[in-house]
Structures are given as structure tokens and as C-alpha cells.
């Protein structure tokens, strides 16, 4: 007997409820800030990706409003028909100059950027070797290609070399990695990975969603943090929605990359162009991070303080070296209960369990921003200490 839509929905939702994995997002009652109203309660916000405080930054809002007034609410068409405005091309030139690459193209999200770039580059007969902990958007993007796919052990350059050596091809060879891994907060060892990739004639593809605006000089990213600039054999992709405060994705690299993507990247070809207000906000974001060096200093001062204090309380932050600071709880029930208790103490930090993270490693992922004050962080730390004691978390 054919399953009805109602039966399918009910069964899937029941399974999620029974496993404790049903997501019910909390609702913000205002702009995303370091301290804000969520579900009617004032909280310290450790849940967003708003690294530099750009989501409600006055300079970005002014520029967005100016672009809205001059260019309208929407582009009106896909880029390849009648949607490419002068402001789109100016943003891409600005982004390429910022990233020190031959070209750049803006797409609609970090997720669709991976689908579009990987789909445009890879063909049958190509080889792609991907880190075991790469983001879901990379995994889904690779599923859409006919390239031969191999997975190397997380951040393991020796395993990468083994796979490149064992899988020779006459096609393109692509090594794919996150720059900053979004769940653990660790860095890809790009110095070692790029060295191995070059030894075997492979191109390195870095998804720097959580590194752009955070790592390297002026936030130029993880590739720049490791000293690889003006490298035609390195492709940088990422999102414009985290440190940059807006929405969208980008691909930056070889001078000819942009032209190929304009002609072959399906998300670019079949989606309406970015709204002018978004473009204006992004232009201002790239200007602001270079104009105000205190932004990144505050981000890293806050990050190092918060990590050190959590460690002093006995929490396991899983070796994170970036503003992404996971606190390990093990089982999802414990992580979700800790998240609920923290909220009651005025701290918004979300629990994550399988399938977002591996079984047995459920955690709360905290992100400290440049906008947090020391009082904000001390309130969060006091709440963590109280919750840790109640839940009898090891070491607390």
C-alpha cells in the first residue's frame, strides 16, 4: 500500500522526537547582537556566526540603505540575463583584491557555492580527495559530480598523499578541505596539504566559511594565514553570511575561474542576482575590516579569554584554536539539557548531536565575537560553571 504524505511526515517527525533530535529553533526578537532578546528573554548570545558584529553594524546598515535607495529592492533577473548590475561587478573586484586572487565571483550562499564550483570544475575521469570532516555542502556538491571520490583521514597529510599516490589520473586532481572546521574549531594544516597536493599536481580547494574575516591579515582567511597568496593552484570559496554579516557565497582564485563559473555554475545561472542592499552591506563589511583593526583584536582577545576560563573550569573544548569553541558533553540528551539550562541562566548556546556531529561527541558550540564585552563573557562563564556542577560534568 502506498505511503501517504501524512504518514511519511508523521513517521519522520516521530523518529526525530523519539531520538531527542527534533529541532525547534528559538526566535530572535530583534537584530542579531552579542546581547539580545530571544524568545522574550535577554541573553548573552554565543550561538551566532556574527564574528565581527557586522549583522547590525551602523556603517553596514547605512551603506545597505544607500544601495537600496539607488538600485532598488531586487536585481530583477539572473546575472546572465538582465541581473548583473555595476555594483555586483564592483563587489567582485573588491573581493578579488582583498583575497589577492586573479578573480572572484559572488554566488547566493556558501552552500550553493560549493555545489556550483565543484559541479563546474569536476568531470568524469577527475579525482577529488576530500577531508573526512568536510562540511555537508562539500559532500552534497561532490555527490553531484562524476569525478572519482576518495576521503582522507581528517587533517592527515600522510593519508592524503597515500590516496593521491594510489589513484593516478589524467584528469584534474582536486584536494578539498575546510579551512576552519565548523564543529571542532580546528584548522586544516594547509601548509602540509598544499605541499602534498603540489607534489602530485593537484589543485587545493579551501572552503573558508569560518576563516574568512577571522584568520589572516585583515581577515583575508586561512589561506593567507598560512602564507599562500596569489596562488593559481588554490581555490578559495566561502560564505558572506558569517563574519561579513550578510548573505551569499564567493569563489576566488585563478584569473579564468570567474569566467568559467559564469558559464557553468548552475546555482549562478539559475538564481536571481543578489539584492542591492545586500551588496551594499558586503561592500561596507570588506571596507570596515580593513579600516578598523580593533575588530579582529577584540575577537581574538575575547576568544582566548573565554577558552582559558572554560578550561580552568574543567570543560573539554576539544582542542579548538579558533573562535569556534565547542564544549563536549558526550550524549545529546546531556548537551541539549545543558543548552536549556544555560538559556534559563541568560546564555544562548545551542546543543548539537548526531548527525550534525558524530555519535558520542554531542556538544554545545560557542562562538565568541568582537562585540562581546568582558561582562558578557563572565556572565556566560558563571552560567557554565553552575550548569556543569548540576549536570556533574567531568572536571567541573
pLDDT value at 42 more than 90? yes
How many other CB atoms are found less than 10 A from the CB of residue 149? 16
The H or E element spanning position 265 is none
Q: What is the pLDDT of residues 226-268, one digit of tens each?
A: 999 889 999 999 999 999 999 999 999 999 999 999 999 999 9
Selected catalytic residue, list 137, 182, 320, 361:
182
Sheet-wide strand order for 324-330: 324-330, 362-367, 350-352
Known catalytic membership, residue 210:
yes
Q: 141, 110 in Cβ contact below 8 A?
A: no
Known catalytic membership, residue 61:
no
Q: Is the pTM value of this prediction over 0.85?
A: yes
Known catalytic membership, residue 361:
no
Q: What is the pLDDT of residues 112-145, one digit of tens each?
A: 999 999 999 999 999 999 999 999 999 999 999 9
Selected catalytic residue, list 242, 307, 320, 361:
242
pLDDT band at 298 (very low <50, low <70, confident <90, very high): very high
Buried-exposed string 315-346: b where 16+ CB fall within 10 A, e elsewhere? bbbbebebbbbbbbbbebebbbbbbebbbeeb
How many other CB atoms are found less than 10 A from the CB of residue 14? 11
Distance between CA atoms of 190 and 194, rounded to whole angstroms? 6
Selected catalytic residue, list 63, 88, 135, 210:
210
Would you tell me the crossing angle of helices 276-291 and 294-313 to the nearest 10 degrees? 80
pLDDT value at 21 more than 80? no
* Mean pLDDT confidence for 171-186: 96
Amino acid at each position: 500500500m502506498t505511503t501517504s504524505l501524512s504518514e511519511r511526515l508523521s513517521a519522520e517527525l516521530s523518529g526525530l522526537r523519539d531520538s531527542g533530535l527534533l529541532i525547534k529553533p528559538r526566535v530572535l526578537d530583534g537584530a542579531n547582537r552579542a546581547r539580545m532578546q530571544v524568545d522574550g528573554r535577554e541573553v548573552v548570545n554565543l550561538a551566532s556566526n556574527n564574528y565581527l558584529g557586522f549583522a547590525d553594524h551602523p556603517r553596514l546598515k547605512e551603506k545597505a540603505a544607500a544601495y537600496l535607495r539607488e538600485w532598488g529592492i531586487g536585481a530583477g533577473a539572473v546575472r546572465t540575463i538582465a541581473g548583473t548590475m555595476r555594483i555586483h561587478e564592483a563587489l567582485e573586484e573588491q573581493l578579488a583584491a582583498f583575497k589577492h586572487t586573479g578573480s572572484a565571483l559572488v554566488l547566493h550562499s556558501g552552500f550553493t557555492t560549493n555545489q556550483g564550483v565543484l559541479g563546474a570544475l569536476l568531470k568524469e575521469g577527475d579525482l577529488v580527495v576530500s577531508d573526512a570532516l568536510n562540511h555537508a555542502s562539500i559532500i552534497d556538491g561532490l555527490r553531484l559530480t562524476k569525478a572519482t571520490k576518495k576521503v582522507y583521514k581528517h587533517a592527515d597529510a600522510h593519508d592524503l598523499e597515500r590516496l593521491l599516490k594510489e589513484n593516478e589520473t589524467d584528469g584534474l586532481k582536486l584536494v578539498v578541505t575546510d579551512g576552519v572546521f565548523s564543529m571542532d574549531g580546528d584548522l586544516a594544516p594547509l601548509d602540509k596539504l598544499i605541499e602534498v597536493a603540489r607534489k602530485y599536481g593537484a589543485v587545493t580547494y579551501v572552503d573558508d566559511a569560518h576563516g574568512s574575516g577571522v584568520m589572516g591579515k585583515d581577515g583575508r582567511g586561512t589561506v593567507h594565514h598560512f602564507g599562500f597568496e596569489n596562488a593559481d593552484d588554490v581555490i578559495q570559496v566561502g560564505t558572506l553570511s558569517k563574519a561579513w554579516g550578510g548573505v551569499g557565497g564567493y569563489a576566488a582564485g585563478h584569473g579564468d575561474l570567474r569566467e568559467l563559473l559564469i558559464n557553468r555554475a548552475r546555482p549562478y545561472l539559475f538564481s536571481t542576482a543578489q539584492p542591492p542592499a545586500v551588496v551594499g552591506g558586503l561592500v561596507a563589511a570588506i571596507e570596515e575590516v580593513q579600516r578598523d583593526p580593533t575588530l579582529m583584536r577584540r575577537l581574538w582577545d575575547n576568544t582566548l579569554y573565554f577558552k582559558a576560563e572554560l578550561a580552568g573550569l574543567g570543560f573539554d573544548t576539544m582542542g579548538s584554536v579558533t573562535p569556534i569553541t565547542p564544549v563536549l558533553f558526550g550524549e545529546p540528551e546531556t548537551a541539549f539539557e545543558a543548552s536549556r539550562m544555560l538559556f534559563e541562566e541568560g546564555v544562548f548556546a545551542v546543543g548539537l548531536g548526531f548527525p550534525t556531529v558524530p555519535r558520542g561527541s554531542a556538544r554545545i558550540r560557542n562562538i565568541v565575537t568582537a562585540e562581546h564585552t568582558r561582562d558578557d563573557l563572565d556572565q556566560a562563564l558563571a552560567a557554565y560553571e553552575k550548569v556543569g556542577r548540576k549536570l556533574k560534568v567531568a572536571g567541573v
